[in-house]
Amino acid sequence: MKRAGFENIWLPVALLLPQLMIIAIFFYWPAGWALQSSFFLQDPFGFGSTFVGAENYTSLLGNDQYKRVAGFTIIYSVLVTFFSLAIALLLAVKADKVIRGAKTYRTLLMWVYAIAPPVAGFLGILFFDQSTGPMTKFFQMFGWDFKLGVDYNATATAMIIVAVWKQIPVNFIFFLSGLQSIPRSVREAAMIDNRSATGRFWEVTFPLLAPTAFFLLIINITYALFDTFGIIDALMKGEPGNNPMTLVYKVYLDGFRGNDLGGSSAQSVVLMVLVLILTVFQFRLVERRIHYT
């Protein structure tokens, strides 16, 4: 194969520059600042800062509240990722089989995608409202005195349900287009080779959908960790007290409500490293099993 090359170095540099600048300004620069300020203790009124070494990090290790938030973040991310992928896959498989009115179903299922996370959070408040919310009444039918924003488990449940609901459409679109890109004849060959529809799904359809599923797995973990901020903020109604929150929300809370910029920076550096490790892990272990056509 012939390798194409540029005659001089400046053209490729110029072509890459806009993208590199965006990454530099919006990622490396703030990340560098966070790293730097994580070693300092800032004065709450902005009069100066003192170098404290790794103290911001070591104090995180001994902080029970931080550990509890980290624990909730893991459970929350796993549940949100799992349910939003699983439900979307189920819907996509069903929608793929529909022949009549397929477009209508697809459009209806995609509407939610257009809703911004904070708006989804407010819709969640309406649904889970203590006195009028239909979901609250639904849970009460099962004898659960559901109190949004007061009871830890109630708020956690509401957060997960709203976050999942908001993410399903994106996953649905990707899964559906993934399903539709599987050649019809391959599925038909499988129908002749395998009587069981479940067997066909897991042995033929799903492996061919795996590249899409892997991509969505990464997108969904990122979504659960970071992009659900608006939902959490809305559902908590500004009263963090006894409510569950994710690590990202705690970074915001400690930094901008608590004015502890150093501690908050240390938390965001930890979060950054964790996500980095998780991503490397995913690419190394999961992606290896995927067949790209």
Partner 1 sequence: MAQVSLEGIRKVYPNGFQAVETTSFTIQDGEFVVLVGPSGCGKSTLLRMIAGLEDITEGTLKIGDRVVNDVDPADRDIAMVFQNYALYPHMTVRKNIGYGLKNRGTSTSEIDAKVQDAAKMLNLTEYLDRKPAQLSGGQRQRVAMGRAVVRDPSLFLFDEPLSNLDAKLRNQMRIEIKALQRRLGTTAVYVTHDQVEAMTMADRIIVLNAGRIEQIGTPSEIYHNPASTFVASFMGAPPMNLIDAQVEQGQVKINGYEGLMPASASNTGPVTLGIRPEDVVLDEQGAVPFRVDILEELGAHRLLHGDLGGQSFTVLIGKDHAAEIGETRVRLKPDALRLFDVESGKVL
CB of 266 to partner 1, least distance (A): 44
- How far, in Å, CA of 14 to CA of 216, rounded? 32
The contacts of residue 164 (CB under 8 Å, 6+ apart) are 79, 80, 83, 84, 87
Q: Would you say 1 or 9 has its CB closer to partner 1?
A: 1
Place of tokens 């056509």: 293
Window contacting partner 1 (CB under 8 A); options: 34-42, 194-202, 240-248, 250-258: 194-202
Q: Would you say 141 or 192 has its CB closer to partner 1?
A: 192
- How far, in Å, CA of 13 to CA of 187, rounded? 46
Phi/psi of residue 242, nearest 5 degrees: -100, 15
Q: Would you say 207 or 240 has its CB closer to partner 1?
A: 207
Q: Would you say 2 or 184 has its CB closer to partner 1?
A: 184
CB of 201 to partner 1, least distance (A): 13
- Range 136-142, long-range pairs (CB < 8 A, 24+ positions): none
DSSP 123: H
CB of 89 to partner 1, least distance (A): 18
Residue among 215, 212, 218 nearest 276 (CA):
218
Query: How big is the site for partner 1, counted in residues (CB under 8 A)?
Result: 22
Question: Which of 199, 258, 277, 279 touches partner 1 (CB under 8 A)?
Answer: 199
Q: Is 193 in the site for partner 1 (CB under 8 A)?
A: yes
Q: Is 185 in the site for partner 1 (CB under 8 A)?
A: yes
Cα 172 to Cα 113, 180, 213, distances in angstroms: 10, 12, 11
Within positions 205 to 224, which residues make up the interface with partner 1, using CB under 8 A? 207-208, 210
- Range 36-40, long-range pairs (CB < 8 A, 24+ positions): 36/265, 37/261, 37/262, 37/265, 38/262, 38/265, 38/266, 38/268, 38/269, 39/262, 40/262
Q: Is 189 in the site for partner 1 (CB under 8 A)?
A: yes
CB of 61 to partner 1, least distance (A): 44
Place of tokens 């997960």: 160
CB of 28 to partner 1, least distance (A): 38
Q: Is 288 in the site for partner 1 (CB under 8 A)?
A: no
- How far, in Å, CA of 36 to CA of 148, rounded? 38
Q: Would you say 16 or 189 has its CB closer to partner 1?
A: 189
Q: Would you say 191 or 276 has its CB closer to partner 1?
A: 191
Q: Would you say 89 or 235 has its CB closer to partner 1?
A: 89
Window contacting partner 1 (CB under 8 A); options: 45-53, 62-70, 198-206, 269-277: 198-206
3-state SS of 15-81? Answer: HHHHHHHHHHHHHHHHHHHHHHHCCEEECCCCCCEEECCCHHHHHHHCCHHHHHHHHHHHHHHHHHH
Within positions 74 to 133, which residues make up the interface with partner 1, using CB under 8 A? 99-100
Contacts to partner 1 by CB under 8 A = 99-100, 183, 185-186, 188-196, 199, 203-204, 207-208, 210, 291, 293
